Structure 1
Amino acid sequence: MTSIIALDALLLTLLLVIGVPVPLCFAGAVLFLVIMGDFGNASFLVAAGFGKISSIVIIAIPLYIIAGGIMSHGGIAARLVDLADSIFGRLKGGLGIVVIATTAVFGAISGMASSAVAAIGTIMIPRMVERGYSRGYAASLVSVSAVLALLIPPSASMILYGWVTGTSITASFLAPVVPGLILVLLFAFWNRILTRKMPLKAPEPVNSSEFVIDIGKKGKRAILGLMMPIIILTCIYGGIATPTEAAAIAVIYAVPISIYVYRGMNWKDMYEVLWRTGQTIGVLLVLVFFAAMLGRMFTMMNVPQHILDGFLAVSNDPVILLLMANLFLMLIGMFMEDVSGILLAAPMLLPVMQAAGVDNVHFAAIIATNLGMGLVTPPTAPILYFGALIGKTGIGPMLKPTLIFVFLAYLPVVLLTTFIPALSMTLPTIVLGLE
């Protein structure tokens, strides 16, 4: 049985490496186990898959995707960029800080890293190039900053994590916030260092009164968009709505703001937005369906226990266990985007985390930071390739700044998050009263 599991893992990895769409990779892994394993009548697996995608919790993710799509097309991204530019744009390397700030905020609105790359990258990369930034650096900064969408709530990835592991979603939202804020500061620091020798063009200087007036004007235009994540989180943590109900509120809020206030789209555009987001949602649900089936099969074959036994065979020291779990998550993140990575890795590593004495809420921050780093870590780096596509550049010019951000920003945050539980446990403890 162990050899079948190893062959299935090898097949899944091979399909991912050669570029087969991720849902079909999981489908192939399921089909292999059905043929080679001893599951008898495997019709119960279909019921397991449908049971997962019909969960009320999962409905929140499509709703957040729709809300993010509406706000992206409705002009919120451009207004966020203008506001951040009015605050930071006149600093040396300030446009890089604009990218980091707006990507973090838009990632919180859309809940997905790819949406943040598409919305912010199409606006900011040309603007950065005009002001003297290299195109490769601009695309790299947008890509690595987009992964903040996993850490800043509400995050679609944390909804999935809470659902898969049975952990409070509201606590899972809060766990990666402090690591995310540390990451923002590190990005801003390294942006300042990396742009020192670039021939950057600064905007015309203004006096303090003009500066304040400009911020007020841009802030007024962007305030309704900025209110969206605040409304969502207030509803959730104020006990007004569940995460799923808050996602529905987000959609209801986004439609009139985008069409009647910002006038960035009309009802005809709504069809295109729903069509595109519907394609994303369809792929996501197919992925969840097959991942649920594969997860059930792995559980029946005691794969999580085998992984724990393998780790314990190396060492039972909690520090070593956590280092091995981090390495496992980094490898998963290199080959899969965050959704499939969480669906696969979270249930398999839970026994390891329990053996190391790690709380499920703490594990939420560990898995978010690790998979986030994997999204922009070569060789596969799905978000990095998407950023190259949006930025109309190759991976080569993006590689040096990306590796600096990965090794000198992401990796320290991953290690700090792993070995200092207070970074991820303090906010849930204060807000939710966790013990």
Structure 2
Amino acid sequence: MGNILLVSFATLVILNVPLAVGLGLSSLLALAITQKVPLFLIAQRMFTGLDSFPLLAIPLFMIAGRLMERGGISRRLINLATNMVGSVAGGLALVSVLACMFFAAISGSAPATVVAIGAIMVPAMIKAGYDKDFAVALMAAAGTIGVIIPPSIPFVTYGISMNASIGQLFMAGVIPGFIMGGSLMAVCYVIAKKRGYKGTVRPTLKGFLSSLKESIWGLLMPLIILGGIYGGVFTPTEAATVACVYSLFVGIFIYKELTYEETIKSFSEAGVTSAMVMLIIATATAMGWILTTEQIPVKVATAISSVAKDPVILLLLINIILLITGCLMELNAAIIILGPIFLPLLMKMNIDLIHFGVIMVVNMTIGLLTPPLGVNLFVAGGLLKEVTFKQIVKASFPFLVILIVDLFLFTYLPGLSLFLVKLFA
């Protein structure tokens, strides 16, 4: 059954069948051909996979992010970032990365971050003389921070799949997220000096304080979420509900930019995106059940154990596997399927599950920037039609390299992920 499942799924991926359909159809084929168990078990497992209170956090965080985006928060965050780093060489590029870091603390979604910030910053960079392919590729790369800095939808998925604390995962993503943002800004600065991209704004203290005042309501949201979770006030799922209510309140009564029509559009867009993600999670859960039934995790663990005798080699092999997987599979599905496969090895080598959560999510995040799947590449490409996909891939290479360097830092320096977790334990 396992062989049929994997071969059929690989074939469907090559044929470019939608991922959710490929996951579900390959699972059905495996059961239908072997006739070991009734087919209705697929529907049962899909339902069971979604019958989880913590999973409610995914659509709720998506709604909160959309409401904040349409409520004017992205423009205010960009103004704040401009007053912080706009005068430096490559100022607009640095502003783009910094604004993505701010918005990541609201949306929890990489594509949402690319669209919200890129729609404003790509035209601004082109108008200031930046190369078009550079501007688009930068937004694709900077958007990856959207799923590292909390709240993070993939961290929710990982926490549920691996029975790990979602609150601790959120806290573990803070320092890696800032390191990724800082390293991307460093690459931008080097490229800007080489190509002559100059700063466009002379920031003043008055301008900074004014922009900080305007954006403070948006910046408070991640503090409320993390503070509430670690203070024991609410669970991560309840925190997502608080984020929705807070986003509505700020957009309607504080910024007064969230109209009835914009609110309906926010819920509609979040609903469509959530349905796609949840269907992928449901079908991935069904496939994961078949893999577990066929003892695939145990077999993979045994095979890797014969090669990897210590944690250093083990994590290197896992990183290679995850980097390749990230090029081919949606990150939430990959987490649900591969996480339990690696779990016996992690337990055997005493590797912290929170630390590994950061490793896995960063790996899958890099997959957003690598073809053929490369979701961020396609989303960013939609911001500027005259730039080809090939140009975006080529321009994103320096950013891809630095993110892989960051990945290995997080892999072999667990303190970067676990410092805040231990500090607030």
**TM class, shorter-chain normalised?**
over 0.9
User: In the alignment, is the contact (CA less than 8 A) between 2:45 and 2:286 conserved in 1?
Assistant: yes
How far off is 1:205 after superposition? Answer: 4.0
Contact 1:117–1:390 at 8 Å: present in 2 too? no
What amino acid maps onto 2:365 in structure 1?
A: G
**Whole-angstrom CA distance in 1 between matches of 2:202 and 2:81:** 16
Q: Which residue matches 2:128?
A: 131
User: 2:399 maps to what in 1?
Assistant: 405
Deviation at 1:247, TM superposition (A): 0.5
2:314 maps to 321
Give secondary structure in 2 for the equivalent of 1:370.
Answer: helix
CA contact (8 A) 2:101 2:149 kept: yes
- State the alpha-carbon separation in 2 of the partners of residues 386 and 14 from structure 1: 25
Match of 1:117 among 114, 117, 130: 114
Shift of 1:115: 0.5
Q: Which position in structure 1 is the counterpart of 2:7? A: 10
* Cα gap change, 1:192 to 1:52, in 2 (>3 Å): same
Q: Structure 1 unaligned segments of length 5 or more: list them.
A: none
Contact 1:137 1:401 in 2 (8 A): yes
Structure 2 residue identity aligned to 1:87:
M
Output the CA distance in 1 between the equivalents of 2:37 and 2:391.
52
**Could you say which residue in structure 2 is the equivalent of 1:395?**
389
Task: Using the TM superposition, give the Cα deviation of residue 199 of structure 1 relative to its aligned residue in structure 2, in angstroms.
Answer: 4.4
| Contact 1:107/1:152, CA 8 A, preserved across alignment | yes
Query: Offset of 1:264 from its aligned partner?
Result: 2.4
Check conservation: 1:22, 1:287, Cα contact below 8 A. Answer: yes
What is residue 296 of structure 2 aligned with on the other side? 303
SS in 2 for 1:329: helix
Shift of 1:14: 3.5
Does structure 1 conserve the Cα–Cα contact (< 8 Å) formed by 2:4 and 2:30?
no
Q: Any conservation in 2 of the 1:325–1:352 contact (CA below 8 Å)?
A: no
Matched, 1:224 2:221: no
Q: Distance in 1 between matches of 2:138 and 2:390?
A: 14
1:104 corresponds to which of 87, 101, 106: 101
Q: Report Cα offsets for 1:296-351 as digits up to 9, x if no partner.
A: 11111111111112212334233222111111111111112321221222111112
Q: 2:57 corresponds to which residue?
A: 60
Task: Describe how 1:12-161 pairs up with structure 2 within 5 A.
Answer: 12-161=9-158
Between the aligned partners of 1:333 and 1:99, the Cα distance in structure 2 is: 24
CA contact (8 A) 1:112 1:156 kept: yes
| Rounded Cα–Cα distance in structure 1 between residues aligned with 2:247 and 2:312 | 45
Tell me, which stretches of 5 or more residues in structure 2 are unaligned?
none
Q: Give the Cα–Cα distance (whole angstroms) in 2 for the partners of residues 133 and 53 of structure 1.
A: 45
Deviations 1:264-298 (A, max 9, x none): 23112222221111111111221121111111111
**Out of 277, 281, 286, which is 1:284 matched to?**
277
Deviation at 1:131, TM superposition (A): 1.0
Contact 1:322 1:356 in 2 (8 A): no
Cα distance, 1:7 vs. partner?
A: 4.2
Partner of 1:368: 361
Match for 2:400: what amino acid? V
Scaled by the length of structure 1, the TM-score of the pair is: 0.93
Give the aligned residue type for 2:93. Answer: G
Specify which of 221, 241, 255 is matched with residue 248 of structure 2. Answer: 255
Give the aligned length. Answer: 424
- 1:28-76 residue CA offsets vs partner (Å, 9 max, x unmatched): 2211222233532243442232122121000011100001111111111
Amino acid at match of 2:379: F
* Secondary structure, counterpart of 2:306 in structure 1: helix
Query: C-alpha displacement at 1:380, in angstroms?
Result: 2.8
Letter in 2 for 1:245: E
Candidates 147, 154, 171, aligned match of 2:168: 171
Instruction: Name 1:241's counterpart in structure 2.
Output: 234
The letter of the residue matching 2:407 is V
Q: What is the aligned partner in structure 2 of residue 194 from structure 1?
A: 191
Q: Kindly tell me: are residues 293 and 204 of structure 1, through their superposed partners in 2, closer, same or farther at Cα, counting changes over 3 Å?
A: closer
Whether contact under 8 Å (2:8, 2:26) holds in the other structure is yes
After TM superposition, give the deviation of residue 396 of structure 1 in Å.
2.5
Return the alpha-carbon distance in structure 1 between the equivalents of residues 77 and 201 of structure 2.
Answer: 21
Shift of residue 77, structure 1, vs aligned partner: 0.6
Q: Quick one: structure 1 residues 219 and 41, their matched pair in 2 at CA, closer, same or farther if it must change by over 3 Å? A: same
Distance 2:37 2:337 in 1: 23
One-letter code of the match for 2:310? Answer: D
**CA deviation map 1:214-260 (0-9, x unaligned):** 11111121111111111111111111110011100111111121123
**Offset of 1:352 from its aligned partner?**
2.4
**Equivalent of residue 419 in structure 2, options 407, 426, 432:** 426
SS at match of 1:55: coil
Q: Taking every aligned residue pair, what percent have the same amino acid on both sides?
A: 30
Q: Would the aligned equivalents of 2:311 and 2:351 in 1 still touch at CA under 8 Å?
A: no
> What are the Cα deviations for residues 126-153 of structure 1, in whole angstroms up to 9, with x where unaligned?
0111111111111111111111122111
Structure 1 Cα separation of the partners of residues 143 and 310 of structure 2: 35
Over aligned residue pairs, what C-alpha RMSD do you find?
A: 1.7
1:200 positional shift: 3.0
